[in-house]
Chains A and B, each alone.
Chain A
Amino acid sequence: MTHPMPPRGIDLLDQAATELRQTLAPQLTGAARYHALLAANAVATAAREARAAPHLATADAALAGLDPAAIRAGAHDQDASLHARLKTRAALRAWIADPRSLSPEDRATHLPKDLHDT
């Protein structure tokens, strides 16, 4: 299911986000500026998602077969291993959505090295 995007594709998204934010948005005001920044955010998010895809596939696989109903029923109360796996997956997804949402500890514990400087 996961097909890592070739680096050239990711580079294209990065540049598109940069130009939307730095070149287009400053020339706009009001709703037009808002939509340009929204689009810049969306393209940057897609680029991060493409970068994180292999790690996300691993994090998803570590939760394969998990039944949310079992969590509700209390079968995983105090399950530190499950909590750690959920948090690793959540940290990747949160990084994709907004890298600033990770605490320094989240970054150190859950963020793969190749994503640290992007």
Chain B
Amino acid sequence: MSDLTANPALADWLATALGAAKAQVTAARKLSGGAIQENWALDVTAGGATHALVLRRDAPATIGASRPRAQEYALLAAAHAGGVRVPRPVGFCDDDQILGAPFAVLERVAGEGYGPKLVRDTTLGGDRDALAHALGQQLATIHALRPEGQIRAILGDRPEDPAVAEIALLRGWLDDLGTPHPGLDWALRHCELHAPPPGDVVLAHRDFRTGNYMVDAQGLTAVLDWEFAGWGDPMADIGWFCAECWRFSRPELEAGGIAARAPFYAGYTGQGGAPIDPARIAWWEVMAHLRWAVIALQQEARHTSGQERALHLQLTGRIADTLELALLRMTAPQNFGPQNSSPQGSNP
């Protein structure tokens, strides 16, 4: 992909996407992050203006939960049209002759997105309660989207029972890995026994967490990473956001390591989100650890299979071990439920 600045076909495609007669990529820089995709920052001049863009292309190997790029782009564009704060979509190219794989181009949003840094550095994101509130509002806006047409087709059938479906999905992924993980099976069995009854099913983001949104010094700038979006229990997105495994170095800040739950919940319900159901959220927080554990093992498998040899993938697989311990803490035979690591942590 070093050919981004000297690729006439890409320049032509960008000119069309930007509605200009001619376009030139003046700079291209690979961005960190994006284990599943490659992200490139592009500076493009077209029609007398300079455009700061991001180009997203599949990494050499992908994992099971990840949607094809074209679908991810369509979902992001639908979210944009529905008023969700996402990077403005510029275009999607399914001609793999230009860059060897399909790619999406979005407006580049300024800010910081790296979860551990965002949690640690409180000069980022503005007032943290306000940030949590804004994120709750964004999540409610996502859950209010009513998919039609192409998006409806992408999403497929609405599951009757997202909880049962998620357990079956994770068991299938575990089987695909081909190695036994009895600790994860123990936790899955516990979740099966305690699954909440079916309720609302909405278009859910399914990866809504600290690390997948951008902030600047003032606050939220964009909700990113739409590749897992699909039908889900609205409380599942809330559980994913609040799960201890996504609080990084601030486990006592139960809303994504940035704030208490209260402002996040208030933003969500104030924007028309479903009523907060603490028991359902708690169940999905346990499931969040399971889902992340299995995805971490899938990442490691990209390395061990030889698809993509990389140290960061090997080390990601090790995270599954810490998640398994956390899961076994939460699923003791007589003590089912997520454990909050800090005594001062509070549930509203």
Residues in A lying within 8 Å of B, measured CB to CB = 31, 34-35, 38-39, 41-42, 45, 63, 66, 68, 71-72, 74, 76-80, 82-83, 86-87, 89-91, 93-94, 96-98, 101-103, 106
Contact = CB atoms under 8 A, between A and B. Distances in A.
20 contacts: A42-B311, A63-B182, A66-B182, A68-B180, A68-B182, A71-B182, A71-B189, A74-B189, A80-B334, A87-B328, A89-B183, A90-B183, A90-B321, A93-B324, A94-B322, A97-B319, A98-B318, A98-B319, A103-B329, A106-B325
Contacts of B166: none
Q: Chain B: interface secondary structure? A: helix
B334 to A, nearest CB: 8
Nearest to B317: A97
A106 B171 CA distance: 27
Given A71-B182, A72-B185, A34 B32 contact: yes
B332 A91 contact: no
A83 B333 contact: yes
Most buried by B among A42, A63, A94: A94
B292 interface: no
B186 interface: yes
Contacts of B130: none
B314 interface: yes
B315 interface: yes
B119 interface: no
B328 A45 contact: no
B17 interface: no
B interface bracket (residues with beta carbon within 8 Å of A) = 20 to 34
B153 interface: no
A82 B186 contact: yes
Q: Chain A: interface secondary structure? A: helix
A7 to B, nearest CB: 23
B312 interface: yes
B333 A78 contact: yes
A91 B323 CA distance: 10
A102 B315 contact: no
Contacts of B322: 94, 97-98, 101
B2 interface: no
B341 interface: yes
A91 B186 contact: no
A49 B207 CA distance: 31
Interface string B300-339: 0000000000011011001101101110110111100000
Contact of A93 (B32, B321, B331, B334): B321
Contacts of A39: 311
Contacts of A97: 318-319, 321-322
Nearest to A66: B182
A101 B320 CA distance: 11
B333 A80 contact: yes
